[in-house]
Structure 1
Amino acid sequence: MSHLEMAMATLIQTFDQYAGSDGKKSTLSKAEVKTLVEKELPGLLQGAKNPDEVDKFLKNLDLNRDSEVDFQEFIMLIGALTCALHDHFCK
């Protein structure tokens, strides 16, 4: 597999690893998203000035307001974070 194919497989595996602890394998609950962010994106939490910022961020991630994060919303998060990092490192 190419690097990009491996990255895509990793995203799928990471989502699947955290989804389903509440019984729904196709979505992440708020608790599952928090666990994923804490374990997989610890720098994001360290950059937050207060816990309310993280909660607001997670709420904004749920685009369809169903109190869950589906795979498409998860990928949008990863894409947005990747763009922000790219912009940061290019400056």
Structure 2
Amino acid sequence: MPTQLEIAMNIMIRIFHQYSCKEGDRFKLNKGELKMLLQQELTEFLSCQKDPQLVDKIMQDLDANKDNEVDFNEFVVMVAALTVACNDYFVEQLKRKGK
């Protein structure tokens, strides 16, 4: 039986490929696929963002090799960075509550 972390890793891989296979290179996200993934899988994150250029900025930041696509390694960097930010927020909230 897989652990919760193994399940989470499997889900992350499956979600990436669910969106990357829609257009063009099936192992990379183009801008449209990335936008769709962000809108459908990170709804709360996007809902509190007011920048209309957010997807463009995320794409530019993630696209380390500048091929106008996001591969799985680049995608994992985004997920890790968002996870760290969420953890930092959670820790800060606990500190404020004195726990």
TM-score by length of 2: 0.86
Q: Over alpha carbons, which structure has the higher Rg?
A: 2
CA distance in 2, matches of 1:54, 1:33: 8
Q: What secondary structure is seen at the aligned counterpart in 1 of 2:53?
A: helix
- Percent same amino acid among aligned pairs? 42
Runs of 4 or more consecutive aligned structure 1 residues displaced over 2 Å after TM superposition: none
Alpha-carbon RMSD:
1.0
Q: What secondary structure is seen at the aligned counterpart in 2 of 1:21?
A: coil
Q: Aligned residues, how many?
A: 91
1:48 match: 49
1:29 match: 30
- 1:1-91 mapped onto 2 (5 Å cutoff): 1-91=2-92
Q: Deviations over 1:59-91 (max 9, x none)?
A: 211111100000000001000000000000110
TM-score by length of 1: 0.94
For structure 2, the 5+ residue unaligned runs are 93-99
- What's the CA shift for 1:58? 2.3
Higher-RCO chain (CA-CA 8 Å, sequence separation at least 6): 1
